[in-house]
Amino acid sequence: MKIVQEVTLISVGSFEESTDWSIIRTEIRDAISLIVHPPGTSSFTINPTKHGNGVKPIKQACMIALKNQFGWKLETSINYATKSPGKIDATKMIDNYLFALEWETGNISSSHRAVNKMVLGLLRGVFLGAALVLPSRKIYPYLTDRIGNYEELEPYFDVWKAVQIQEGFLAIFVIEHDYLDSNVPTLTKGTDGRALV
């Protein structure tokens, strides 16, 4: 799988220039590049059936790579609000702070919640940095219907860029298939993501 765009929404302080970010960005890039389909190949080929492929197996493959190869913690519970905003897909400890990663598998409303959850963590000083992984508009038609995607979220970037924080970093990684091929199997919801790494 490939990353077609990286966007920095918030960068206050020195994190973006740090060795920590350089390492984390490399780990995220590597984990995404390790996602292949069909299993055993060296690239990510998707069947171009409209809404024919589940997102969760793709996410699961990335999470497995982050955990097994780079030591990230998965499904981290965070309490920084009066009501818990839910678990974070993957986190990495940096000194006494967390870097949070969310991989979008829901609709556009879910994408907004994911960004808001990470921005709240930045505002509360729980996260030093955070990133969201979103599909591009090119892969969107072949994934679960109405999946949140970069192009739908982009008009709201100015809202998050306007957030006043003392220190923090928020980035978006936009992902896409390498190839289309109607002869490869679709990624059904029951596909085991471990097979895709």
Q: Round to whole Å and give the CA distance between 46 and 150.
A: 19
Cα 53 off chain centre by: 17
How does DSSP classify residue 162? T
Residue 17's SS3 state is helix
Task: List the alpha helices (DSSP H) in 53-165.
Answer: 56-70, 108-123, 150-153, 157-161
User: Amino acid identity, residue 39?
Assistant: P
Give me the active site residues, please. Answer: 104
Residue 141's SS3 state is helix
